[in-house]
Amino acid sequence: MRRHPRPFVLTAVALLTAAACGGGVHGSPGASGLRDPYFPKLGNGGYDVTHYALNLAYDPDTHRLKGTATLTATALQDLSAFNLDLRGLTVAGVTVDKKRAVSRRAGSELTVRPFDELPKGHTFRTVVRYSGEPVTITDPDGSEEGWLRTADGALGLGEPTGSMAWFPGNHHPSDKATYAIAVTVPKGVRAVSNGELTGAKRSAYGKSTTYTWRVTQPMASYVATVAIGKFETHTSRTPAGIPVYTAVDPEEAEASEKVLARLPEVVDWETRTFGPYPFSSTGAIVAREGDSGYALETQNRPVFPGAPDVGLLVHELAHQWYGDSVTPKSWRDMWLNEGFATYAEWLWEEQHEGDSAQESFDAAYDHAADSAVWAFPPADPPSASHISDSPVYTRGAMVLHRIRKTVGDARFFALLKSWPADHKYGNADTHDFTAYVERANPTKKDALAEVWKDWLYGKGKPDEPDTP
């Protein structure tokens, strides 16, 4: 959003000052960004969100979204003001602890100055009312996220910054929260989101339905989703009893039927391989081919652009452990998501009469020296436009395979379970992971240091490793 002309800015500043004086503020503003290596203005300092209650209404015909977002948060310092990330949309009003707050916009930053100071440790509630035509955001790598219009509705996707296109919040992966999401849509379309469906209430005259969803385990905003359309839905359970909810665009129903029938089997296999499933339900959203250019590990039920194959299903469901439950501290640590999910594909093949993980490793290694796989170290992408490039995925998986060869199968497969168990619902970075592996394998510390040097942080193609 453009900045207002200078006279209006002066008036807003005067109002902010008046509000501050009225509340006797002695604190300081929270930071307007968390200095992420690739998205320095993403997220906000000074507070921690613990819960989002989103009440949304969307009309596909007019492409207008109306929302009320209620954020429950704890002040991490004495706060005189704080910021929320919000791209586009018009803010009608903001309250903090039921008192009117002054707000102003600058780009994707919504600055809120509450009437009263928020002392450190205080739990406060912020309500933001907003509306407008939500935007589609183009990433540095050219992919699109945010609010994507579809033939019969819309798709809200958030990695890495897109969630700010449909609700205000602290949109950095390091701040996770629980969610309650209510979406009102016209008759004939459904609204699907994360967590469990807790209600589907029709309006008095049946012209609309409000779908309510609840997420009781912490979730990073980038894996929050809303999918609106004429979906066909199906419920079932995994062999272990985990509820399964799938929503499929009718045009993709036939092509998706066989692979989605294997979803309980995949979750059961991953539970045996990676440890207890971390969430209270699972499933999938299959949008129409072309609605998005990629699949995404949205929590509880990944989103697919058309019918997935089994390998892609394995990959996105593995993210429920690696990425959704254990979430990166910053976007530099993407390989901890994608390396594990790619290696999950290798393991699935290995254990289902396909190539062994060693054969998958060898095939990746045999790429030419100038292949994109060797363009940069997986733990250090050169810029925001490269955080989803092949070194993060393929070479990230190769790091894991080198760990396996270094510590042996017994310790490696124990690691696949203990890492997500010990960091469940939390955040971790690359240093946390390497230190964790070394502590679990103290006699292999020197050999692991070579793995980090050559495969995780090394530039170019490492020398061909010995294969036991």
Place of tokens 């029709």: 202
Q: Who has greater pLDDT, 370 or 113?
A: 113
Fill in the DSSP letter of residue 361.
H
Question: Mean pLDDT over residues 322-335, rounded?
Answer: 98
- DSSP notation for 38-69: S-TTSS-SSEEEEEEEEEEEEETTTTEEEEEE
Please report which confidence band the pLDDT of residue 349 belongs to, taking 50, 70 and 90 as the band edges. very high
Torsion of Cα atoms, 83 then 85 then 88 then 94, to 10°: -40
Tokens of 426: 């939390």
| Separation CA 402–CA 450 (nearest Å) | 10
pLDDT digit string, tens, across residues 67-91: 999 999 999 999 999 999 999 999 9
For residue 105, how many C-alpha atoms fall within 13 Å in the half-sphere facing its CB?
19
Burial annotation 201-239 (CB, 10 A radius, 16+ → b, else e): eeeeeeebbbbbbbbebbbbbbbbbbbbbebeebeeebe
pLDDT digit string, tens, across residues 21-49: 444 558 999 999 999 999 999 999 999 99
Share of the chain above pLDDT 70, in %: 94
12 has a pLDDT exceeding 90 = no
Please report which confidence band the pLDDT of residue 371 belongs to, taking 50, 70 and 90 as the band edges. confident
SS3 of residue 406 by DSSP: helix
Please report which confidence band the pLDDT of residue 348 belongs to, taking 50, 70 and 90 as the band edges. very high
| Separation CA 182–CA 204 (nearest Å) | 17
- DSSP notation for 305-318: ES---HHHHHHHHH
Share of the chain above pLDDT 90, in %: 92
Please report which confidence band the pLDDT of residue 467 belongs to, taking 50, 70 and 90 as the band edges. low
- pLDDT for the residue numbered 266: 98
Question: Mean pLDDT over residues 143-159, rounded?
Answer: 97
15 has a pLDDT exceeding 60 = no
First CA to last CA distance, the chain: 58
Cis status, amide bond into 462, omega within 30 of 0: no
Tokens of 63: 């492409």
**Could you tell me which of 387, 458, 440, 40 has the C-alpha nearest to residue 432?**
440
Residue 124: CB atoms within 10 A of its CB come to 18
Tokens of 265: 């089997």
The overall average pLDDT reported for the chain is 94
pLDDT digit string, tens, across residues 216-275: 999 999 999 999 999 999 999 999 999 999 999 999 999 999 999 999 999 999 999 999
Residue 399: CB atoms within 10 A of its CB come to 26
